Amino acid sequence: MSRPVPRQLLTDAALALALLAATLGPGLVTGLLSPTKPGDPTGFLTRTGIPADQVWWVCTGLALAGVVIRRQNAAVALVLTATGTLGHLLLQTKFQLLDLALPLVMYTVASVSRRRRYVVGALALTMILAYFAMLGSRLDVMHVQKAAVAEKRAELNGVKAQPVAREGTPTVTDTIANIPVEALVDTGQAVLEMWLLLVAAYAVGDGMRTRRAHLLAVEQRTADLARQERQSTALAVAAERARITRELHDVVAHGMSVMVVQAQGAAAALDRHPDRTATALQHVIEVGRSSLAEMRRLLAAGRTESAEDARLAPLPGIDAIPGLVDQLRSTGMRIDLRIEGAPAVMPAAVDLSAYRIVQEALTNTLKHAGPDAGAWVRLEFDPEFLRVEVTDDGKGLAEGVDGCGNGLRGIAERVAMLGGTLETGDAPDRGFLLDATLPVELRR
């Protein structure tokens, strides 16, 4: 049961008073405005048409109470209003404006109930009870009229009218059999107005309930779509950040490693070989500039105003691996590059990933394998896959190191994203081995 809202209660109370005023107002105004003749024994209530029967006022109170609480407890309101309205129908043979409280509460029940079949059952029961209440009222009036006619005839004939006595208690069958057919038909015609009002109230209320349920479902669906959109955006942003992080790691780690080695060589040859120092410093400048340019390209990819420039900037690929090898050879590192098979045009993701894998593997060799370590790079082209193998003859994995640094994790993510396989660890003889197989046909 919902919590009562003062504004709703005041509104429904005003509506109940309006129904009562609309019912009694016309008679009250007529009675007040009509002149009273001296000696007229007619009372005020009779002139104004205000019922003096206490039962009528009790039924009126029940009906109006149902109107007041209809939005707080619709089921109880329907019971109260139906009881009051049926009581009115038993006391009179025609509808009053006050009886509109029943269709009003029926509308509320249909608009808030979650189970339609219960409302339909309540509607059918209310219609049946309304028919029998009005039938009972009409039969009572017919009985009174017949008694009055019989008494009048007896007075005209000079005979005192005697009530007809019946032996035994009448049964339901006897009662139904004694109901005139005209009374049944007239009652059906008279109650048809209330039936139409009840059915219309139910239809409008059920339509409102269905519309609210539809709007709620649409709002929920919209909220779900918005939440899914936010989640998709967040996942896309996270994936892009991870991609940029991998790219930056590869660029910075490689560039800084080469620059450090070249700077150390320049410092060592500063006194004895000035020409070598100049060459080494020139290499430091070139590597620094290329690394900065690639970093700018990666960072500009996330900015709207520089997105077009970022897309136009060339991405390194397999064709750039020989230049990468030559760049590292300039540091004094021994590198053997072997290409097996016929090079073919690769998908952009495979092309870039192959370059980054070789770059990360050679950078790790430069940083961790030792000063005299050499490396072997083998690219095997196949119509179905590209195999990238990088080995070195350095120190291999240090004791207690699992070989899962940021660079190798980035390579593993690249390979997994492309649906390939990756093998890393100590080489069979000595040093470190990195073997990646990338499928040419990417997974969809």
Q: Which residue, 282, 400, 369, 383, is CA-closest to 341?
A: 383
pLDDT of residue 170: 44
Average pLDDT over residues 277-290: 73
In the predicted model, is pLDDT for residue 440 greater than 90? no
Average pLDDT over residues 288-316: 59
Between helix 74-91 and helix 54-68 the angle, nearest 10°, is: 150
Q: Which of 136-140, 195-199, 316-320, 368-372 has the highest mean pLDDT?
A: 195-199
Tens digit of each residue's pLDDT (9 = 90 or more) over 230-258: 888 788 777 767 766 666 666 666 666 66
Q: Is the pTM of this model over 0.75?
A: no
In the predicted model, is pLDDT for residue 85 greater than 70? yes
pLDDT of residue 219: 92
Q: Which residue, 390, 404, 397, is CA-closest to 435?
A: 390
∠ at Cα 67 (62, 71), nearest 5°? 130
In the predicted model, is pLDDT for residue 91 greater than 50? yes
pLDDT of residue 254: 65
Q: What is the rounded CA–CA span in Å between residue 257 and residue 369?
A: 13
Average pLDDT over residues 207-214: 91
In the predicted model, is pLDDT for residue 417 greater than 50? yes
Q: Which residue has the tokens 């955006």?
A: 233
Percent of the chain at pLDDT > 90 equals 18
Neighbours of 98 (CB within 10 A): 23
Average pLDDT over residues 147-163: 66
Q: Which of 104-108, 129-133, 371-375 has the highest mean pLDDT?
A: 104-108
Q: What is the rounded CA–CA span in Å between residue 355 and residue 341?
A: 17
Under 8 Å between Cβ of 59 and 91: yes
144/106: higher pLDDT: 106
Tens digit of each residue's pLDDT (9 = 90 or more) over 342-367: 888 888 788 888 888 998 888 888 88
- Measure the CA dihedral 357/359/361/366, to 10°: -170
pLDDT of residue 173: 45
Q: Which residue, 113, 279, 132, 75, is CA-closest to 210?
A: 113
> Positive or negative CA dihedral for 393, 399, 405, 411?
positive
Range with lowest mean pLDDT among 53-67, 178-192, 250-264 = 250-264
Q: What is the rounded CA–CA span in Å between residue 362 and residue 354?
A: 12
In the predicted model, is pLDDT for residue 311 greater than 50? no
Under 8 Å between Cβ of 135 and 182: no
Range with lowest mean pLDDT among 29-43, 90-104, 158-172, 229-243 = 158-172
CA distances from residue 111 to 74, 174, 210, 362 in whole angstroms, order as listed:
10, 42, 8, 73
Cβ burial, residue 1 (10 Å; 0-12/13-18/19+)? exposed
Token pair listed for 280 = 């080494």
In the predicted model, is pLDDT for residue 175 greater than 70? no
CA distances from residue 58 to 19, 22, 65, 93, 254 in whole angstroms, order as listed:
15, 18, 11, 18, 94
Range with lowest mean pLDDT among 19-23, 41-45, 132-136, 246-250 = 41-45
Q: What is the rounded CA–CA span in Å between residue 387 and residue 357?
A: 11
Range with lowest mean pLDDT among 53-57, 204-208, 306-310, 317-321 = 306-310
Q: Tell me the pairing of strands 374-381 and 334-340.
A: parallel
Q: Which residue, 68, 201, 59, is CA-closest to 133?
A: 59
Average pLDDT over residues 27-50: 61
The pLDDT mean for the chain works out to: 78
407/353: higher pLDDT: 353
Q: Which residue, 92, 67, 70, is CA-closest to 17?
A: 67
Cβ burial, residue 296 (10 Å; 0-12/13-18/19+)? middle
In the predicted model, is pLDDT for residue 2 greater than 70? no
